[in-house]
Structure formats: C-alpha cells, structure tokens
Amino acid sequence: MSNLKTTFGRSGRNLAFFFVHVARIAHLTGQSLVWTFIAPFRGKKLRWGSTFVQMVRIGVESVPIVSVISFCVGLIIAMQAAYQLEQFGATIYVADLVSVTLCRELGPLITAIIVTGRSGSAIAAEIGTMKVSEEIDALETMALNPIGFLVVPRLLAMMVVVPCLTVLSDFVGIAGGFVLAITNLKLAFVAYFNQTADALAAKDFITGLIKSFFFAIIIAQVGAYQGFNVRGGAEGVGKSTTTSVVVSIFLVIFADLLFTMLFFSTL
C-alpha cells in the first residue's frame, strides 16, 4: 500500500513539476517575444550581427545533415509504400504518399528533431555555461538584459532558419522518393512528377511551414530555459542539456499533434 502511495505520489509530483516548467517556459517565451518584437520600437537595439552568426550556426551548418537524413527518409517511405501498393498495382501512388507525408508531417518533424539535437542542446549548454561562470550576472550588472542579449538572437535565427530547413527537407525527401521510383520501381519520370504535383496542395506545404515556425520557438525557448536554470557546475550543464533535448522533442511532437488536429481533423 505504501509502495503504491509512493509511486502515485512521485508521478503526481513529477507531473505537477512538468506543468510548472511548461508554465515558466511560456513566461520566458512571452518575455522573449516582447524583447524581439516590441522592445526595438522602444529604443532597444536588436543584435543583428549575433543573429546572423546564429543563423549560420543553426541553419547553414545543418544543411548537409538535414539533406542526408531527409533523403534517406524519402527513400524509406517510398520503399514501404511501394511494398503495400505493389499488391494493387498502384505503385504510382508512392508519389502521393511520399510528398504528402513529407510536407505535412515528416519534413517539419525531422528538421525540428535534428535542430533540437544540434542547436537546442547547444543553446542550453552555452547559456548554462555562461550562468555557471557568472557571465549572465556580469551581463545584468552591465545593464544588459540576458534575454535581449542572448535569447533574442537565437530565437530570431531559429524562426527564420527552421522553416527554411523544412523546405529543404521537403524537397530533398521528395527527391529521395523520386530516385527510388525511377530506379527500383521503374516508373516514368514525367508520370511520377505529374503525380506528385497533383497530390500536393498548397495547404500541405503551408501547414508544414506554420508548424515548423512554432517548433522553432519551442526549441529556442526550451534550450534557453534549461540554460538559465542550470544549477551547480559542469554536471548541471550536462543535465540541463539532456533535459532540453528530451523536453523539446516531447513538446514538438505534442505541438505537432495539436496542429494536426487543428488543420486536418475531420472529427
């Protein structure tokens, strides 16, 4: 009985903590958005140089890995789809499956997960290390707001770069499907191209981009929040970095569920 109590007690407490953290992340997000979109009109400078550096780090440097993984995912979906569709002699519909799945779901999701692993964790580690070495305190004593100075450039960069990477992921993934269709399934290039063009609606593509924009905000904010919350030394930085990846991926997938319900639910 007491074991049962402890188990439920612990899970209840953890769940409560989780919601407290989510509320605090939401609060930080509110502040960051104010610093990004409202503060510049009140005479606070946006740090474009730093934003540009972050865009290169988060965006340009992820192009190879996003491309390779999206290409592989395109191939995988095409193979799995072909395996089922072959039974009905309908392999041409591989084009529909690959393009719609990638634009609606997998493009934004794969990009978000890669960016979380590469850059969300880096944000947590950088800000966390700065916290441990008193650099955040130093910023405050220089009358420089850490949110305006550190979070805003990263958030802005994410909001621009993640949707761009998503577009790349969509196209490269579809190209992966193309390669399989032409080489393995022996479909005609033009037929596959036309089938893809017919299958895709603007809505598929645009909803994917809207999602990726919000994923970008989640990744940047969770990373920053975990960074600011580092306690202790190097071990604390390590823990926060890990937590940032886990929480980001969870929130991204949960947000994806909500958006899919909003955009495509027929209930």
Per-residue x/- marks for other proteins, 190-229, CB under 8 A? ----------------------------------------
Query: Could you tell me the smallest distance in angstroms from the CB atom of residue 145 to other proteins?
Result: 8
In the bound state with other proteins, the residue whose beta carbon lies nearer, of 49 and 64, is 49
Q: Which residues contact 114 (CB under 8 A, 6 or more apart)?
A: 62, 65, 66, 69, 165
> For residues 95 and 181, is the Cβ–Cβ distance under 8 A?
yes
State the nearest-atom distance from the C-beta of 214 to other proteins, in Å: 28
Stretches 129-137, 218-226, 234-242, 256-264: which one binds other proteins (CB under 8 A)?
129-137
Structure tokens at 220: 């940047």
- Does residue 133 bind other proteins (CB under 8 A)? yes
Q: Measured from the CB atom, is 130 or 162 closer to other proteins?
A: 130
Given 4, 41, 64, 142, the residue binding other proteins (CB under 8 A): 142
Query: Which of 140, 179, 232, 250 is in the footprint of other proteins by CB under 8 A?
Result: 140
Residue 7: Cβ within 10 Å count: 10
Sole binder of other proteins in the list 61, 134, 198, 235 (CB under 8 A): 134
For residue 42, the minimal CB distance to other proteins (Å) is 10
Specify the residue, 41 or 88, whose C-beta has the smaller distance to other proteins: 41
By the rule CB under 8 A, 137 interacts with other proteins: yes
Q: How far is the C-alpha of 114 from the C-alpha of 47, rounded, in Å? A: 26
Residue located via tokens 């939401």: 26
x/- contact string, 87-126, with other proteins (CB under 8 A)?
---------------------------------------x
Q: Judged by CB under 8 A, does residue 58 bind other proteins? A: no
Residues that contact other proteins, how many (by CB under 8 A): 14
Residue placing its CB nearer to other proteins in the complex, 1 or 142: 142
Three-state secondary structure of the chain: CHHHHHHHHHHHHHHHHHHHHHHHHHHHHHHHHHHHHHHHHHCCCCCHHHHHHHHHHHCHHHHHHHHHHHHHHHHHHHHHHHHHHHHHCCHHHHHHHHHHHHHHHHHHHHHHHHHHHHHHHHHHHHHHHHHHCCHHHHHHHCCCCHHHHHHHHHHHHHHHHHHHHHHHHHHHHHHHHHHHHHHCCCCCHHHHHHHHHHHCCHHHHHHHHHHHHHHHHHHHHHHHHHHHCCCCCHHHHHHHHHHHHHHHHHHHHHHHHHHHHHHHCCC
45 near other proteins, judged by CB under 8 A: yes
Least distance from other proteins to the Cβ atom of residue 137, Å: 6
Binding flags for other proteins, 67-86, as an x/- string (CB under 8 A):
--------------------
Which residues here bind other proteins, judged by CB under 8 A? 45, 126, 129-130, 133-135, 137-138, 140-144
